[in-house]
Amino acid sequence: MSDTLSTDTRGTPVLRARGLRREYGRQAGLVRAVSGVDLDVAPGETVAIMGPSGCGKSTLLHLLGGLDRPSAGEIWLAGQSLRGLGERRLARLRRDTVGFVFQAFHLMEELTAAENVELPALLAGRSPGAARRQAGELLDRVGLADRARFLPAALSGGQRQRVAVARALVGDPRVVLADEPTGNLDSEATLDVLRLFEDLHVAGQTLVIVTHDARIAATADRLVTMRDGAFTDETRLTGGTAGAGSGLGALAGLEG
């Protein structure tokens, strides 16, 4: 495939993987963390990945986002194959196409909420003024305009994760990859973050979410079950937002 970003058209998968494998160690210590995954994620689609701890979900997400390299197989991000890309080009493609959200937030503790969002914009070459404006808009979008000047330590877990989501949206990524984004949150904060992902979904953001939370999975377009490094089951869900706009209703129904 030789598609470039500019020729990438609607309908082309935002993310594609074929024959993906990732092994750690060797011989008696060999771990097949990911063993033969194929995946296509369409523009605007939300895919939820569920599976027991240690089945390879994080490893898969890191491969898909170009944070780690596969032992075998190929990945295309926005039509661009990651195979053979040097570190610099991979880093640039990652910056321009992927937003990451992690379970542990990974905010810079010494920076304010706004600065945490400004930082990637500055690193992407935005002017300080433009970075500040964008951070303001994104914090507003995640409902934290009034917390822009707070340090992470002064924010609740749910608020921190919403800052992390705002940060992930800098650069208008083609896909947001989230690894158990509600794993460290209490149930009320979980619901806040869930609603936020639902809003992103409705707005057309492509999402891949690894989650233990059946409520997140219920709002996805597709649910993939993973075990021992491979997909064991795929279900297309009609309750997802793309179906009938009933995602929030399903959410409310599952609440409590």
Interface ranges with ligand ADP (CB under 6 A): 24-25, 31, 33, 51, 53-59
Of 52-60, 69-77, 107-115, 247-255, the window that binds Mg ion (rule: CB under 5 A) is 52-60
* Residue 243 binds which entry of Mg ion, ligand ADP, none, CB below 5-8 Å type-dependent: none
Select from 66, 98, 89 the least CA-distant residue to 168. Answer: 98
Contact indicator for 163, 193 with CB cutoff of 8 Å: no
Closest approach, Cβ 57 to Mg ion, in A, equals 5
**Residue 55's binding partner, choosing from ligand ADP, Mg ion, none, with beta-carbon cut-off 5 to 8 A by kind?**
ligand ADP
Report the partner that residue 181 touches, choosing among ligand ADP, Mg ion, none (CB closer than 5 to 8 A by kind).
none
18 neighbors 34 (Cβ within 8 angstroms): no
Pairing assessment for the beta strands 46-50 and 222-227 based on DSSP bridges: parallel
Give the DSSP letter of residue 69.
-
> Which entry of Mg ion, ligand ADP, none binds 80, CB below 5 to 8 A by partner kind?
none
Between residue 190 and residue 219, which ones bind Mg ion under the rule CB under 5 A? none
* Binder of Mg ion out of 35, 46, 58, 219 (CB under 5 A): 58
Crossing angle, helix 157-168 and helix 128-141, to 10 degrees?
Answer: 130
CB of 122 to ligand ADP, least distance (A): 30
CB-based contacts of 121, cutoff 8 Å, min separation 6: 130, 131, 134, 135, 170, 171
